């Protein structure tokens, strides 16, 4: 597959992604380990989704925004931004940080004084990090 013809292979890309997701879910049915990595972008994404409601962004767009919000690695952030822009998806939004933060506290991954985030330091390799609420606020620029 050439670099510029990804759209000619979209069905193949989707199929491969679904196979990966199926394998992860089958190996971790109760979401106690590896399956949590599938939540990349979802914690911030669900908060954005609730914030904007039905008149805002679609679920996938909100997850993309959540990925942009959570990433620490500037090179991966820039790469993701280029991908989102190429797909004509948002890579930033105008949201009230305090309201988004309050919505995040209601997320199923929020546990008292921390929230588990998926972090990607290298393409294809993710890990879980527990962020305290101060770290979450910093990312939202409160």
Domain assignment present for residue 4? The answer is no
Token pair recorded at residue 114: 């921390």
Split at pLDDT 50, 70, 90, the class of 98 is very high
Average model confidence (pLDDT) across the chain: 88
pLDDT, tens digit, for every residue of 33-73?
888 888 899 989 999 999 999 888 999 999 999 999 999 89
Q: Residue 121's domain is classified under what CATH number?
A: 1.20.1090.10
85 in any annotated domain:
yes
Burial call 29-41: b when 16+ CB within 10 Å, e when fewer: eeeeeebbbbbbb
Residue entry with tokens 């199929």: 15
Indicate the pTM of the whole model: 0.85
Specify whether the CB–CB gap between 84 and 92 falls below 8 A.
no
* 31 inside domain: no
- Copy the structure tokens of residue 44: 């911030």
Residue 98 included in any domain: yes
What is the number of domains present in the chain?
A: 1
Domain that holds residue 98: 38-140
């Amino acid at each position: 597959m050439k670099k510029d013809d990804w759209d000619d292979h979209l069905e193949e890309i989707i199929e491969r992604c679904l196979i990966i997701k199926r394998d992860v879910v089958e190996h971790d049915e109760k979401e106690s380990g590896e399956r949590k990595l599938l939540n990349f972008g979802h914690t911030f994404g669900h908060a954005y989704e609730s914030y904007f409601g039905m008149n805002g962004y679609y679920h996938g767009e909100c997850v993309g925004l959540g990925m942009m919000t959570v990433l620490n690695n500037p090179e991966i952030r820039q790469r993701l931004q280029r991908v989102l822009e190429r797909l004509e998806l948002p890579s930033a939004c105008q949201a009230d940080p305090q309201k988004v933060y309050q919505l995040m506290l209601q997320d199923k991954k929020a546990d008292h004084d921390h929230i588990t985030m998926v972090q990607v330091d290298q393409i294809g390799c993710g890990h879980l990090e527990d962020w305290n609420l101060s770290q979450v606020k910093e990312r939202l620029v409160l």
